[in-house]
Amino acid sequence: MHKCECEQPLVPVIVEVMDIKDETPDIKSFFVKNPGGNGLPFNVAPGQCAMVSYLPVGESMISCTWQEEQEYLQFAIKRVGLMTDELHQIEVGQKIGLRGPYGNGFPVEACKGKDMLFIAGGIGLAPLRSFIKYCFKHREDYGKIKIIYGSRSYADLCFKDELFELWPQQKDTEVFVTIDNAEEAWKGHVGFVPSYLEELNPSSAGTIAVTCGPPIMINFVLKALEKMGYNDEQVITTLEMRMKCGIGKCGRCNIGSEYICLDGPVFYLAQLRDLPQEY
Amino acid sequence: MKVLSKSKLETALNKLNQSAEVFLPMQKDKESGFYSWKLFNQGQDELMLNALNVYLPPKNVVLPQTERMYSIKQEGQEIKIDKTFEDSSPRVIFGARPCDLKAILCMDDVFLTRGYEDSFYKCRREAITIVANACFQPGPACFCAAMEINPLEPAGADVIICDAGEAYSWEAKTPKGEALTAQITEYLEEKSLSLPAAKPFVQDVKYEGVAEKLKGMFNNHIWERLGESCHNCGICTYVCPSCYCFDIQVKMWGDEGYRFRCWDSCMYEEYSREAGGGNPRGSGIERFRNRFLHKLEFFKERYGTPLCTGCGRCIVACPAGINIVKIIDEIKEAELDA
């Protein structure tokens, strides 16, 4: 047994899954808290991540899409690999492992007083949602909010009740949703996120743009924002790479001399300009 | 000065072995590396304290090739972690060369600084005493002096010994080193010893300015050519004293098992392959480039020192003849792309 007094950053705590919600055919939200219902193992700031583990199978770094006070941590997880596939099979009451919080999180303070433009694709809305909900919670601290979000299809849109009901009702908030290909019942916009962004052409004045999505989307969004007059200090993105330790030791998530798990996952475009274009 | 006569070496090792596991360079069958004195077979194995570098560095003593982390027990929806496996039993690395010692100091930077202390590494490392064996005669592949190492008086050693023919000079440098000295004080003599003169390096490596120059060379055409012959076999990372990248995996037998970590290699495609199938370093050239940039640029930027210690093992081991000394030369001579 562990004899010394040192902290054990690589050993997870056990939490209980108190609710599971289907977001899309391949994305589920998992709501976790301490076993038995007493609070949370740790606080997670908007944009921070945690290593979520179905212990007999593996661990995956997942951005926390929302912390509701001391009630729950919510992780929206897409089924893509071994661990996430197993996680999608579990039922409410299952104990899972959690360690964190990891990463720097969004610069919520530095963005105060600004208009906010959120641009997300697919599961990329999950990390941004923590910032979006933070803005709504502290509504008077932020200016106008625009959210541009797209997915492959209507079924693949995450957090539909918020997208179509709750968020558009918020003060000074506009939500623009697009899907990649036309569908019979879909009356909204059809097309990819970057082109929709250019079409909407939101003003860069006093605005911070935050984007997350598939790498190809991020790349085109960054180009579009540049064209629209956003400078590198006005653009924030979150990156991801394969991770194992989450604490800047195991080596694999480096971009140049920075580790996404520790120094990221949130970067200003100005910071990325100094790093190798490897994301 | 304190002196350990070679005729008393084995008795001294037996003494140290009573209170710690002692790892020394030895030749065992066709392998050479740092093995426990307990496993030394008289008459079959050969102590290699006189060799400059054994094939494998003492990396496994500070960062075992596989290391259990914690137990996992599953019962229905319940899950328990009731044991963690930090190991703080005392160990001695006896006869680490300055390059291998420096590699351990690099790992100390990784595992013990920048926000988190890795408990598994920390517990193990704190219980390790290092006796460094100073180098006077660089080998044909050695270039430690170019990588910011003093081979005669290496930083970070608990004890420094120098081979002076019939005996080793013995100088404790830290409280840990003093404690080790106290254990074998009956075998140490006080006398003067003339130490060998330092010989010049065969390899002429000039690392100054390389990290800075590399900053502008990520997209340089040079990598295609330099990495063309690399098979991504990973032997360089295996023999490297400072390559520390690790994987975390799980082993289960039914409802019980444990999580462990093991050495990994940035040369392998799986290393950075993501669950969705994407891979930011999907090609061999990209992985080759990342390894050399990590060694020569990124680590220096982050920790202030290169992650290559000039031991020369990768030069000897590479089946494709890739030579980090030549790569450093090529980088220095390369023209920056317009």
For an interface test with B, the pick among A90, A219, A242 (most B C-beta atoms closer than 10 Å) comes out as: A242
Q: What percent of chain B has pLDDT over 70?
A: 100
What angle is formed at CA A195 by the lines to CA A77 and CA A126, rounded to 5 degrees? 15
Summarize pLDDT for A12-34 with one digit per residue, the tens. Answer: 999 999 999 999 999 999 999 99
Hey, what are A101's tokens?
Answer: 């919080």
What percent of chain B has pLDDT above 90?
A: 95
CA distances from B325 to A23, A198, B204 (A): 54, 50, 9
Instruction: Taking residues B268-284, report their average pLDDT.
Output: 93
Q: Are B214 and B289 in contact (CB under 8 A)?
A: no
pLDDT higher than threshold 90 for residue B329: yes
Order of strands across the sheet that contains B78-80: B78-80, B66-75, B256-263, B246-253
Provide the ipTM. 0.93
CB B77 within 8 A of CB A93: yes
Residues B103-147 pLDDT 10s: 999 999 999 999 999 999 999 999 999 999 999 999 999 999 999
Q: How many CB atoms lie within 10 A of CB B190?
A: 7
CB–CB of A56 and B266 under 8 A?
A: no
Asked if pLDDT for residue A1 goes beyond 60, the answer is no
Answer yes or no: is pLDDT of A118 > 70: yes
Q: Given a cut of 70, is residue A69 above it in pLDDT? A: yes
- What value does the CA radius of gyration of chain A take, rounded to a whole number of Å? 19
Q: Answer whether A264's CB lies under 8 Å from A258's CB.
A: yes
Instruction: Tally Cβ neighbours within 10 Å of residue B46.
Output: 14
At residue A2, does pLDDT exceed 80? Answer: no
* Nearest-angstrom CA–CA distance, A51 and A39: 18
Distance from the Cα of A226 to chain B's closest Cα (Å) equals 22
pLDDT attached to residue B335:
87
Kindly determine whether residue A256 and residue B275, on different chains, have CB atoms separated by under 8 Å.
no
Whether A57 and B280 lie within 8 Å, measured CB to CB: no
Give contacts of A55 with chain B, Cβ < 8 Å. 72, 74, 79, 81, 250, 259
The least confident of A120-124, A238-242, A246-250, A266-270 is A238-242
String of DSSP letters for A219-251: HHHHHHHHHTT--GGGEEEE-----SSSSS-SS
Q: Where are the domains of chain B?
A: 2-333
Mean pLDDT of A49-78: 97
Length, in residues, of chain B: 338
- How far is the CA of B136 from the CAs of A248, B48, B51, B163, B198, in angstroms? 36, 16, 12, 9, 4
CB count, 10 Å around CB of A276?
Answer: 21
Average pLDDT estimate for B243-267? 97
Q: How far is A65 from chain B (nearest CA, A)?
A: 19
Q: Which amino acid is at A33?
A: K
pLDDT range class, residue A3, cuts 50, 70, 90: low
pLDDT band at residue A5 using 50, 70 and 90 as cut-offs: confident
Which residues 1-20 of A are in CB contact (within 8 Å) with B? 1-4, 6-12, 14
Nearest CA of chain B to the CA of A20: how many Å? 15
The Cα of B16 is separated from the nearest Cα of chain A by a number of Å equal to 24
Mark out the alpha helices in B165-280 (DSSP H runs): 175-183, 210-214, 222-227, 235-239
Q: What DSSP letter does each residue of B107-120 carry, written as one string?
A: HHHHHHSTT---HH
| Domains contained in chain A, CATH given | 13-102 (2.40.30.10), 115-238 (3.40.50.80)
Residues of A in contact with B263 (CB under 8 A): none
Distances (CA, A) of A12 to A61, B20, B112, B314: 12, 31, 19, 36
Mean pLDDT in residue range B224-234: 96
Tell me the count of A-B CB pairs closer than 8 A: 148
Q: How far apart are CA A219 and CA A223, in angstroms?
A: 6
Q: Which residues of A touch B246 (CB under 8 A)?
A: 244-245, 249-251
Q: Residue A278 — pLDDT band, cuts 50, 70, 90?
A: confident
Of B69, B84, B114, the CB nearest to A248: B114
pLDDT for B338 equals: 61
pLDDT-based confidence at residue A4 (cuts at 50, 70, 90)? low
**Would you say the C-alpha torsion B225, B230, B231, B233 has a positive or negative sign?**
negative
**Do A250 and B247 count as a contact with CB atoms less than 8 A apart?**
yes
Those of residues 60-79 in A touching chain B at CB distance below 8 A are 60
Report whether A180 contacts A156 (CB < 8 A).
no
Q: Helices in chain B by DSSP H: which ranges?
A: 9-17, 59-62, 98-112, 119-126, 175-183, 210-214, 222-227, 235-239, 284-293, 299-303, 313-317, 324-333
Band (B336; pLDDT cuts 50, 70, 90): confident
Percentage of residues in chain A with pLDDT exceeding 90?
93
Tokens standing for residue A235: 């653009």
Region B35-53: mean pLDDT is 95
CA–CA gap between residue A70 and residue A38 (Å, rounded): 9
Mark which residues 21-60 of A lie under 8 Å from B by CB: 55-60
Q: Is A93 on the interface with B (CB under 8 A)?
A: yes
